């Protein structure tokens, strides 16, 4: 919800996953080593398996981030279709650099495949960013460094690694990219939270959380994709999304890829999807995106919320998707406030047009920060099959750093089943985090983990270069098996058609007032 530092973020770029088998002008570079996958829904799972049978790249991980100005860059699109051209703008103090495009997947445990690599590109420093006074928006007006032809790139989540040439110990930085699908018919749709990535980005001095002086009052009201990401360039993706992509690809599920902004722009991607996956930190949604996902649920598409604080902020997209707008507590200064209160950018649950996220997610965001054990409540639920858990079993540190709970006083779909009910303390207040499951009238199943560490849990235990918050390998096995159960079931279509209906236990958990 608020700005925070993700510990070990740079190292997370190189973390393994605890997944059980259980010259100075622009240059144009064409893809040379990838195959395009154009599969019908019936063969989509085989297409995933074929892609992941290709040789992986064990050396994809970043080994040396280097100084902030050593090398950094951004793309002119956060997502694109295979075959479209991508322009990269890079600034470096090195005489040259290369770009390597890695597609994230399983690949026999390597977890990425080199799809394309550039030749040497001459390096130069780009001018400092500008800040638009009225909205405190950081904008970079960098010249193009190279243009990449993505013909033949398979759909999926990508990390583009910038490698500075023999300079500052070969400094490196990421540029994240989604090569999005044209259709999700018969597939599980992975929906990346690019608006949230940008909301927290402090590169150039401001984010939607803080200004150049670090204060909330000096924060940006609009943030632009026309700038690099801070830190290693892909913190939000690496910590909250990558592990789920690796798991889904390992399972060989029929997969499609998109972003929340693309759902806002073209909701047809939702048509016929068996499931939509919202990942570990997916806080910023437009009301249109929310409406489209809700409509998909109401026509039989399963939905999984694999984090917490999901769909908390109501935003607006401007400049053909390159600007994210959220006035938050200053919503009366939002020009739209005077013309359309429903589109005013603030929290969904707040005025002038309150619409809490819980009517869609089943859970209600409650707080930050916390750190607590995850406590199983309904051990016999089908989602926990094969985990061996019993009621009361706990998994240390799996609840955090933000959490949701089923809140009877908020709009809540019924019947709803609380699967885990985890006591916690947040800012001195005693409460609970809840994992919940319900089915819509369409038969669609809806799962909410209730914790922001769910996807992180897939990486827990045994990785010295990853800050797993104290979570262990036992936790990784539990989260992995539960997520496998969820994904394989949701890939089959409306969950009510093949899985038991939820047994409403809200009153049992929260008392007669529920």
Identify whether the C-beta of residue 352 lies closer than 8 Å to the C-beta of residue 340: no
- Pairing mode, strands 445-448 and 302-305: parallel
Taking the C-alpha atoms of residue 401 and residue 421, their distance in angstroms, rounded to an integer, is 16
Question: Over 50: is that where the pLDDT of 6 sits?
Answer: no
* Residue 25 pLDDT grade (very low, low, confident, very high; cuts 50, 70, 90): very low
Question: Over 60: is that where the pLDDT of 14 sits?
Answer: no
pTM of the model: 0.92
Identify whether the C-beta of residue 75 lies closer than 8 Å to the C-beta of residue 99: no
Identify whether the C-beta of residue 456 lies closer than 8 Å to the C-beta of residue 395: no
Structure confidence at residue 467 (pLDDT) = 80
Residue 356 in tokens: 């809490």
Average pLDDT of span 477-484: 98
* DSSP labels, 404-431: EE--TTS---SSEEEEEEEEEEETTEEE
Taking the C-alpha atoms of residue 371 and residue 359, their distance in angstroms, rounded to an integer, is 26
Taking the C-alpha atoms of residue 315 and residue 322, their distance in angstroms, rounded to an integer, is 13
Question: Over 50: is that where the pLDDT of 199 sits?
Answer: yes
Structure confidence at residue 43 (pLDDT) = 66
Please list the residues that pair with 209 across neighbouring strands: none
CB count in 10 Å sphere of residue 423 = 13
- Say what angle helices 473-490 and 242-250 make with each other, to 10 degrees: 60
Taking the C-alpha atoms of residue 433 and residue 369, their distance in angstroms, rounded to an integer, is 12
Identify whether the C-beta of residue 514 lies closer than 8 Å to the C-beta of residue 507: yes
Structure confidence at residue 360 (pLDDT) = 98
Question: Over 60: is that where the pLDDT of 473 sits?
Answer: yes
Buried b (16+ CB within 10 A) or exposed e, 428-460: eeebbbbbbbbbbebbbbbbbbbbbbbbbbbbb
| Average pLDDT over the chain, rounded to an integer | 91
Identify whether the C-beta of residue 167 lies closer than 8 Å to the C-beta of residue 70: yes
Question: Over 70: is that where the pLDDT of 167 sits?
Answer: no
Query: C-alpha distances in angstroms, 95 versus 6, 23, 123, 171, 185?
Result: 32, 10, 5, 12, 46
* Percent of the chain at pLDDT exceeding 90: 87
CA contacts within 13 A on the Cβ side of 480? 21
Question: Over 80: is that where the pLDDT of 465 sits?
Answer: no
Of 32-36, 157-161, 465-469, the poorest mean pLDDT is in: 32-36
Identify whether the C-beta of residue 181 lies closer than 8 Å to the C-beta of residue 269: yes
């Amino acid at each position: 919800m608020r700005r925070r530092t993700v510990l070990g973020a740079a190292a997370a770029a190189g973390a393994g996953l605890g997944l059980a088998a259980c010259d100075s002008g622009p240059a144009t570079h064409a893809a040379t080593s990838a195959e395009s996958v154009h599969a019908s829904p019936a063969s989509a799972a085989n297409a995933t398996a074929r892609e992941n049978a290709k040789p992986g790249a064990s050396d994809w991980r970043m080994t040396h981030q280097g100084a902030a100005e050593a090398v950094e860059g951004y793309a002119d699109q956060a997502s694109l279709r295979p075959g479209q051209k991508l322009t990269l703008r890079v600034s470096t103090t090195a005489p040259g650099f290369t770009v390597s495009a890695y597609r994230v997947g399983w690949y026999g445990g390597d977890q990425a495949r080199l799809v394309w690599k550039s030749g040497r590109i001459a390096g130069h420093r780009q001018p400092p960013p500008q800040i638009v006074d009225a909205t405190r928006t950081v904008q970079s007006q960098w010249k193009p460094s190279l243009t990449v032809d993505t013909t033949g790139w398979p759909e999926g989540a990508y990390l583009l690694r910038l490698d500075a040439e023999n300079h500052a110990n070969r400094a490196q930085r990421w540029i994240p990219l989604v090569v999005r699908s044209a259709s999700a018919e018969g597939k599980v749709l992975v929906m990346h939270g690019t608006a949230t990535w940008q909301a927290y980005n402090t590169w150039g001095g401001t984010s939607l959380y803080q200004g150049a002086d670090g204060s909330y009052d000096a924060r940006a009201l609009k943030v632009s994709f026309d700038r690099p990401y801070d830190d290693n360039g892909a913190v939000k993706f690496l910590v909250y999304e990558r592990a789920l992509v690796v798991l889904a690809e390992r399972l060989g599920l029929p997969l499609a890829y998109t972003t929340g902004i693309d759902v806002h722009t073209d909701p047809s991607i939702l048509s016929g999807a068996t499931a939509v996956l919202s990942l570990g930190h997916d806080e910023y949604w437009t009301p249109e995106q929310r409406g489209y996902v809700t409509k998909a649920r109401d026509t039989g598409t399963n939905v999984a919320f694999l984090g917490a604080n999901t769909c908390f902020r109501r935003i607006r997209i401007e400049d053909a998707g390159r600007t994210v707008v959220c006035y938050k507590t200053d919503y009366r200064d939002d020009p739209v406030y005077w013309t359309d209160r429903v589109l005013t950018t603030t929290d969904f649950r707040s005025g002038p047009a309150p619409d809490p996220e819980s009517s869609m997610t089943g859970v209600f965001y409650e707080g930050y920060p916390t750190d607590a054990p995850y406590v199983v409540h309904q051990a016999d639920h089908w989602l926990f099959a094969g985990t061996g858990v019993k009621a009361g079993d706990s998994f240390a540190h799996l609840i955090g750093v933000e959490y949701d709970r089923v809140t009877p006083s908020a709009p809540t779909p019924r019947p709803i089943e609380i699967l885990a009910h985890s006591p916690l303390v947040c800012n001195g207040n005693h409460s609970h985090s809840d994992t919940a499951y319900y089915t819509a009238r369409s038969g669609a199943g809806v799962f909410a983990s209730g914790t922001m560490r769910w996807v992180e849990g897939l990486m827990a235990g045994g990785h010295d270069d990853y800050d797993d918050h104290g979570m262990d390998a036992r936790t990784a096995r539990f989260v992995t098996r539960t997520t496998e159960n969820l994904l394989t079931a949701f890939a089959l279509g409306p969950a009510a058609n093949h899985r038991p209906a939820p047994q409403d236990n809200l009153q049992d958990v929260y008392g007669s007032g529920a």
